[in-house]
Amino acid sequence: MTGEATKIWSGFIEQHITADVAYGVEQYMRATDDEEFARTRGNEIIIDTARFWCSRLEWNPDVDRYEINNVVGPDEYKEHANNNAFTNHMAHWNLLQAMQLIDRLKTNEPAEYQRLDERLDLAALRPEIEERLGKLYLPAPNAEAIIPEDDAYLTLPTIDLKPYLTAGRVGALFDDYNLEQVNHLQVTKQADVILLLFLFERHFSKRVKLKNWQYYEPRTTHDSSLSLLTHTNFAADLGLKRKAYSYYRRARDIDMGTNMNSSDEGIHAASIAGIWSMTVLGFGGVRYLDGRLRIEPNLPDQWRQLSFCLWWHGQKLAVTETNQTLKIRNLTGTRVVEIDHAGASVEIPTHDEVLITR
């Protein structure tokens, strides 16, 4: 708006990425059982990122707790935020995973524990993690079931976003506001609290999920193409099929739609990966939760069938879904695969398939 250069703080203080990397590493190790990766890279990444959080937490003596201040959360329109809910919860997850991993290695893999102890001083780090875990502030739902995105967000003024949401282009908001002004409005660039609820679905009730969707979705501009990914998957989980499919089509059309100028500066590679995620995770209903594979199909009304393959614990599974059936075939066939579906455990025998009528 002013024509002056603006410093983009995400490259300096968007530190949730540290825990995000650990999250991806942990998901990969649980999905693949790749023990070599765990020994050579994964275990150390999870523990060393937790060591970072031990150093990053700030003690607030006035309220007797650890906090994380001056960050950019996933919502990059809120710079210098204090206690961004996503960041705090991800840091807590990272610390907990590291503590549990240290305990597991000490009991089951003493040689690996000794190696990492020499590099990272696990004997001293473990009690430090435990102490911080118990005192780290985790923003929780308020009386209206809304999780505050950060300490200030719910106190900020609101504006009518409709003119910018219907402008048909990214960044229309900045025709009228600069980034410093947006920083002090209830405007969210992309999924933030919604992303937290999606990744940690077992930690929050259906009521909390729905209330936060109703609060944050109208306040989100989706000026990042990645926002459509999370909103598609989350809407599908909530049973909002029409809304989920609308977001899916918007994401699909960024590089493959009628407006081919959207790719003039390059394709949206992460968003393209997101289209796969929307298809398989959102509508296919695939989740990796606590080391378990869950498949709960949730096809949009416009689709008759969805087929895809995925690998789980070294086994290649071919999945075919309709609105009435779920068929899973174990193609690799070197071990039985166990999945969760409709609240029950289902075994997929070697070189065989299971057909479930829903």
pLDDT of residue 5: 83
**Alpha-carbon separation of residue 258 from 169, 227, 249, 252, 262 (angstroms):** 14, 21, 12, 11, 9
Give the pLDDT confidence score for residue 254 in this predicted structure. Answer: 85
pLDDT over 80 at 19, yes or no: yes
For residue 226, which of 34, 352, 74 has the smallest C-alpha distance?
A: 74
Which residues lie closer than 8 Å to 226 by C-beta, 6 or more apart? 190, 191, 270, 271, 274
Dump pLDDT digits (tens) for 299-345: 999 999 999 999 999 999 999 999 999 999 999 989 999 999 999 99
Average pLDDT over residues 7-17: 92
- Secondary structure of residue 315 in the 3-state scheme: strand
How long is the chain? 358
Question: Cα separations (Å) of 191 from 75, 122, 198, 222, 330?
Answer: 7, 35, 10, 8, 35
Average pLDDT, the chain: 94
Spatial distance between the Cα atoms of 87 and 84, rounded to a whole number of angstroms: 5
Q: Give residue 71's pLDDT.
A: 98
pLDDT at 1 over 80: no
Query: Nearest Cα to 160, choosing from 149, 178, 176?
Result: 176
Q: What is the DSSP string of 215-240?
A: HHGGGB---STHHHHHHHHHHHHTT-
Most confident range, picked from 102-106, 221-225, 262-266: 102-106
pLDDT average, residue stretch 244-272: 85
At residue 298 the predicted structure's pLDDT band, cuts being 50, 70 and 90, is very high
Question: What is the predicted pLDDT for the residue at 258?
Answer: 78
Per-residue model confidence as pLDDT tens digits over 180-238:
999 999 999 999 999 999 999 999 999 999 999 999 999 999 999 899 999 999 999 99
Q: Is residue 299 a contact partner of residue 323, using CB atoms and an 8 Å limit? A: yes
Q: pLDDT > 90: what percent of the chain?
A: 86
* 296 noted as active-site residue: no
Q: Which pLDDT score, from 0 to 100, does residue 256 have?
A: 81
Considering the chain, what percentage of its residues have pLDDT values greater than 70? 99
Q: Say yes or no to pLDDT of 156 above 90.
A: yes
Listed range (16-25, 59-68, 142-151, 159-168) with the worst mean pLDDT: 159-168
**Is residue 84 a contact partner of residue 60, using CB atoms and an 8 Å limit?**
no
At residue 260, does pLDDT exceed 80?
no
From the candidates 76, 79, 149, 321, which is the catalytic residue? 76
What's CA 18's distance to the chain center, in Å? 13
Whether pLDDT at 169 is above 90: no
